[in-house]
A and B are shown apart, each in its own frame.
Chain A
Amino acid sequence: LAKTTQPISMDSYEGQEVNITCSHNNIATNDYITWYQQFPSQGPRFIIQGYKTKVTNEVASLFIPADRKSSTLSLPRVSLSDTAVYYCLVGDGGANNLFFGTGTRLTVIP
């Protein structure tokens, strides 16, 4: 089971780009990297998933270096509504993908 390490919390001003990095030094060859977002009183919501290089969707971008030992979730021009906890998960789609760490609590400041 690949363990992940993320910062506990981050603050950012509105309109800034936010980058949250996740370390996963023992990622396996078959493992994907998945990020979730959780608002208070709601369940986690899938944001983005990638295997290598860069993935972009309408919400975020995910940057994965060649060694895949870390990944960075990039949120462009954050707004107050992006205040949430962001979780990084690493796994191959089986049981290994099902364990959430402590996540990163992002607070967007006006």
Chain B
Amino acid sequence: DAGVIQSPRHEVTEMGQEVTLRCKPISGHNSLFWYRQTMMRGLELLIYFNNNVPIDDSGMPEDRFSAKMPNASFSTLKIQPSEPRDSAVYFCASSLDTAYGYTFGSGTRLTVV
């Protein structure tokens, strides 16, 4: 199993540009989570999906952020327009049964200049 796959690993973009982060969960997992990690705020849950349906997006910072899960094997997190304060590491995680915990991807390090 290749695990949770995120792309790109690193992204540098200019303020105001659109950024799209991608995630492929582990095959068979039915829940998918997007987290953001910064030194100041630690790990924050942005949104999570169950069976491709968004369940809780209360962690999404503002309307500039949107997430989609068109099918069980793919999800995107989009920031438009990006701002320097969005610079962080964005993690995607998936799970089948939370009794066994979540499997995280390697993250995307986003830098907005």
The answer to whether A46 and B42 touch across the interface, beta carbons within 8 angstroms, is: no
Find residues 18-68 in chain B having any chain A CB closer than 8 Å to their own CB. 33, 35, 42-43, 45, 48, 55-56
Say if the beta carbon of B99 comes within 8 Å of chain A.
yes
Given A43-B93, A43-B105: A49 touches B100 (CB 8 Å cut-off): yes
Dominant SS among interface residues on chain B: strand
The answer to whether B104 and A103 touch across the interface, beta carbons within 8 angstroms, is: no
CA gap between A65 and B83 in the complex, in Å = 46
CA gap between A99 and B107 in the complex, in Å = 17
Find residues 37-85 in chain A having any chain B CB closer than 8 Å to their own CB. 41-46, 49
Stretch at the interface among A9-17, A18-26, A90-98: A90-98
Find residues 49-100 in chain B having any chain A CB closer than 8 Å to their own CB. 55-56, 91, 93, 97-100
CA gap between A87 and B101 in the complex, in Å = 12
What's the interface size class on B, roughly? 20 to 34
A103 to chain B: which residues have CB within 8 Å?
42
Closest A-B pairs by Cβ, 6 of them? A43-B104, A46-B101, A93-B98, A100-B43, A98-B45, A43-B91
A-B contact pairs, 10 of them (CB 8 A): A32-B99, A42-B104, A43-B93, A44-B93, A45-B104, A46-B100, A93-B98, A93-B99, A100-B42, A100-B43
Residues of B within 8 A of A (CB): 4, 33, 35, 42-43, 45, 48, 55-56, 91, 93, 97-107
Residues of A within 8 A of B (CB): 32, 34, 36, 41-46, 49, 87, 93-95, 97-103
Extra inter-chain contacts (6) besides given A36-B101, A95-B55, A100-B42, CB under 8 Å: A32-B99, A43-B106, A45-B104, A46-B101, A49-B101, A94-B98
